[in-house]
């Protein structure tokens, strides 16, 4: 564990909690892509199956459980409790366009051809692109609530911090996991455009709107 990884994990946790609190306190999930949230729940489910097979630390297991519970809670709030506020007309990205190619790639490019390892690889690839329905939704409506943009910033920062962690681990431990690194870089690149808008607009007190 190093400081970058810890900050990355905390940033990830912060993002998940910001989103849950936003939905709970406003009693609304307007502007949030349910498809991205379903994909994230799928990411955690397929990655954290090793909770049953591989013990790393209390911290590791606790965080996995928290991520899993929070992501399912978010999906539950969106599709059941506050379903009336879910903006499905704007959430039109087709999940199968991500899940099918990512599933195929996980079969072809992985560290080991075993069920758990393929599911882990699938989760890494899927996480890289799971935010696309959310970004697509924002590009359709042309705007995002400020709290939603805080959520996205925390979520994007998490993988960016992990990249620093991977550089650090490579030099200190000689550890590198090429699959995670390449997918993590793709994931971070997808957020770059959003980061730019966040810094130039939201941090200056304006709402995030896309140029016409």
The residue ranges that bind another protein (CB under 8 A) are 5, 9, 12, 50, 54, 56, 60, 63-64, 67, 111-112, 114, 117, 120, 162, 165, 175-177, 180
* Shortest separation between residue 21's beta carbon and another protein, angstroms: 21
* Shortest separation between residue 169's beta carbon and another protein, angstroms: 9
> Of the two residues 8 and 34, which places its CB atom closer to another protein in the complex?
8
- Residue 150: its H or E element: helix 146-173
* Shortest separation between residue 93's beta carbon and another protein, angstroms: 25
3-state SS assignment for residue 8:
helix
> Of the two residues 134 and 165, which places its CB atom closer to another protein in the complex?
165
* Shortest separation between residue 153's beta carbon and another protein, angstroms: 19
Tell me which long-range contacts 1-7 makes (C-beta under 8 A, separation of at least 24): 1/59, 2/165, 2/168, 2/169, 2/172, 4/161, 4/162, 4/164, 4/165, 4/168, 5/161, 5/162, 5/165, 7/161
């Amino acid at each position: 564990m190093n400081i970058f990884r810890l900050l990355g994990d905390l940033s990830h946790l912060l993002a998940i909690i910001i989103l849950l609190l936003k939905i709970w306190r406003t009693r609304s999930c307007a502007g949030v892509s349910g498809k991205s949230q379903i994909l994230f729940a799928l990411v955690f489910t397929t990655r954290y199956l090793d909770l049953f097979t591989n013990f790393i630390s209390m911290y590791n297991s606790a965080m996995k459980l928290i991520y899993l519970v929070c992501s399912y809670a978010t999906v539950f709030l969106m599709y059941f409790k506050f379903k009336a506020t879910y903006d499905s007309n704007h959430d039109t990205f087709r999940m199968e366009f991500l899940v099918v190619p990512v599933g195929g790639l996980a079969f072809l490019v992985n560290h080991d051809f075993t069920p758990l390892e393929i599911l882990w690889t699938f989760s890494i690839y899927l996480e890289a692109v799971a935010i696309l329905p959310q970004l697509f939704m924002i590009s359709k409506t042309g705007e995002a609530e400020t709290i939603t943009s805080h959520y996205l910033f925390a979520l994007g920062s998490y993988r960016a911090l992990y990249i620093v962690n991977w550089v650090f681990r490579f030099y200190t431990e000689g550890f590198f996991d090429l699959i995670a690194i390449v997918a993590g870089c793709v994931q971070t690149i997808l957020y770059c455009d959003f980061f730019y808008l966040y810094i130039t607009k939201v941090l200056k007190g304006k709402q995030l709107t896309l140029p016409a």
